[in-house]
Structure formats: structure tokens, C-alpha cells
Amino acid sequence: MANLQNTKRRIKSVDSTKKITKAMELVASAKLRKAKNEYMLTKEVREYMATNMASVIAEISAQTGHSEYIESEGKKTLFVIIGGDMGLTGGYNINVAKEAYINSKPEDMFLCVGNKPAIFLKSKNANIVDTKAVLEKYVGEDAKDVRSLDSFYQSYDLVRVIKYMYDNKEVDTVKLVYTKFKNSVTFIPTISTLIPVENKFTQLLSPFEITGDPEMFISDLLKNYLATNIFTAFKEGTVCEYASSRLAMENATDNAQELKEELLLEYNRARQANITQEISEIVAGSDAL
């Protein structure tokens, strides 16, 4: 009888868990639809910035003799990792952090958007950038630790950190690590190079006539290029994060249902065995009379 009660309690517990995971799946699905709509609005902008704007920066740099953003020794790389803060998202955060780590060298540095990738990298004793310390070092301001991108303008805070580190030769290459959205069940960790900037035009542009300081002009273009690439990658990563969460909760709900069915079968078998035993005892008592 005790086993029956324990099994019954387990069935109730699993059923409660199933209701929670189902609710979380529905919430993730709603957030996914919203995030996907926002990502689709930024997709074309990202494609433009990754090709046209990059090529313009590279061409102007070459024509004006400012080669610092188009040439690199590549000795030390800064990996800008786009992750998240949410738990229960399957392998979303661990996969993007692992992609950066396995492609890194011991001397490379990591700048994490979101806390979850940083947890993995800390376990590997990786060199994680303290963004607040960088800003205080080069600007002398009481800066916040840039870890999230709630708005497009916050990406410029991140760009300042990246640019200060690159301009002051702390790193030689900057790479963006994010999760590419293929469909609602397939997410691909991807690495793209931000600096040095690559000219992807097959045909050279006409010579530019720049009034003012070309170095400042290139610097301003680069800031917009970096900010847009980082923010749109963040939007794409958010889609993957919610899709991964929805998928994880769907799997958890299915597993809970399977476990519930197994426990119900176990409960019914035990209950049937008890009934059979009681009938046997009644028959034996009747025969004894």
C-alpha cells in the first residue's frame, strides 16, 4: 500500500512539472514570434552593413592611407560573444561559448554579452574582458559594466570598449561570435571577423573626396558598422535563444508525459497485484471455513 501512495505522489509531482513546462513553452513561443518579427526587420540592415558598409570603410582606408582597420598581425584576438542571461535554453549559450573557445588561442580575450557564456569561459580560466575597467582606464569615467543590449544605443557602449582595446593595441583582431538562425529547431554558432574590415566589392570604387579629417570620418563609419553588426547579431541570437527555450520546454513536456504514463502503468500494475492478493486471501479464508 505504501508503494501505491509513493507512486501516486510521484504521478502528481510529474503532472505538476508537466503543467509548468507546458506554460513555459507557450510563453517562449509568444516571445519567439515577437523576436522573429524584430529580427526580420534588422536582417536586411545587417546584410547591408556586412558587405556595403564594410567595403566602403576598407576602400576609404586604402585610398587615404589609413590602414589600421584593414590590416592586422592577428596575434591576439578579441572574441565578442553574443549570448543570453536565460536558463533552460538547451545548448544555446554553451554552444556559442564553446565555438569561440575552441577557435581561440591561450592569449586571446573574450567579451561576453549575457552572463551564461561567461560562466562556461570562467570554468576554462579564459581571459574575460572587464568592460568597466577598460572604459575607466581609457576614458577615466565611472562606467557601467556593459553586459546587455536592451537598445541599439547600448551597442555603442560596447563599441567604445572594442575600439579602445583595438586602437591601443591590446588586441589585433576582433571577431563576432553569435548564433545564426536557420529555422525553429536549427541554430548554428557562427564566427565572423569585424576587424580587420574586408572589402567585398568585386570592382573597386571610384576615388573618394573627403573634406575634413579622414581618420575621424573612418572612425565614425567604423563605430556605426560595429554597432549595427553587433546589435543585429544580438537580435538574431535572441530569436535562437527563445526558439531553443521553446524546444527545451517542449522536450521536457514530452518527457514528463512519458514518465507519467510509465508511472500510471506501474501504479495500475501494483494496484491490480494488491487486488489479486486480497481476492486470494478471501478465497483462502473461505476454504478454511
pLDDT in tens, 135-193: 777 766 655 556 667 778 888 888 888 988 898 888 999 999 999 998 888 889 999 99
Taking residues 95-100, report their average pLDDT: 93
Q: What pLDDT does residue 63 have?
A: 77
Q: What pLDDT does residue 140 have?
A: 65
Taking residues 19-48, report their average pLDDT: 86
Cα separation of 18 and 137, whole Å?
A: 50
Residue 213 has pLDDT above 80, yes or no: no
The domain 27-200+208-249 having CATH identifier 3.40.1380.10: the answer here is yes
What percent of the chain is modeled with pLDDT above 90?
Answer: 20
Q: What pLDDT does residue 62 have?
A: 78
Cα separation of 1 and 271, whole Å?
A: 8
- The answer to whether the beta carbons of residues 227 and 154 sit under 8 Å apart is no
Amino acid, single-letter form, for residue 152? F
- Mapped onto helix, strand or coil, the DSSP state of residue 123 is helix
* Maximum average pLDDT range among 8-12, 60-64, 66-70: 8-12
Pairing of strands 127-128, 186-195: unpaired
Encode pLDDT of 232-243 as tens digits: 899 999 999 999
pTM (predicted TM-score): 0.83
Q: What pLDDT does residue 270 have?
A: 80
Question: Which residue has better confidence, 222 or 149?
Answer: 222
Alpha-carbon torsion (225, 229, 231, 235), positive or negative: positive
Q: What pLDDT does residue 202 have?
A: 56
Cα separation of 162 and 218, whole Å?
A: 15
